[in-house]
Structure 1
Amino acid sequence: MQRMGMMIGLEPGMVESYRELHAAVWPQVLALISSCNIRNYTIFLREPENVLFASFEYHGTDFPADMARMAADPVNQKWWELTIPCQRPLDSRAPGEWWAAMENVFHLD
């Protein structure tokens, strides 16, 4: 199992839209996330900076393949059409990242 953390900003004026979308995530999207070996997925919002922090556990053996499968899913692509316009990637993210990955430096069970 691998613990993951990521950050991204929200566009000004999109906080309520993002909240509303995530108050009713489509069942197909939730099932896809689970089928891609992601567990304990949580997104936190920090206002007034409008920064999102996501954390989850990856329980699979091929993270890039699972993420490619998620990206290729037609229902998930429609979900992203709604959520991506809300997001503002961090300037410090690595090339090819949308959400900026974070290093896990401490964990206590």
Structure 2
Amino acid sequence: MNCHYPPPTNGATCTNWQVFESCWRLYKRGETGPMEGGVLPRTLADAVDTTRNVIQKRCTVLVARGVLVKLDTLAGDPLRPVVSWAPAALVEESPKPVVPGGPLR
């Protein structure tokens, strides 16, 4: 499913906005990796009709701007650790587990 906003780029690579919007939508729908992971690179690449390499570059820029965060998760068969992506605003609003002896004691 291609992003609908901003308009298609006529075959050019996807924009940062398209990657962010797709990541937000997929994360909200729960299309994420296990263990509270984010959207997997392959899922995000399919959503914006581009390669995982382009997704890696775009997401790195969006992390530097503070709008996405990297989350560790598992993917593949057999399962292996991978980096996934999530909107910073949605991750920050989710409840965090309380760790005994942590900063809230």
Structure with a larger share of its residues in strand: 1
Structure ID, larger Rg: 2
TM-score in terms of structure 1 length: 0.30
TM-score in terms of structure 2 length: 0.30
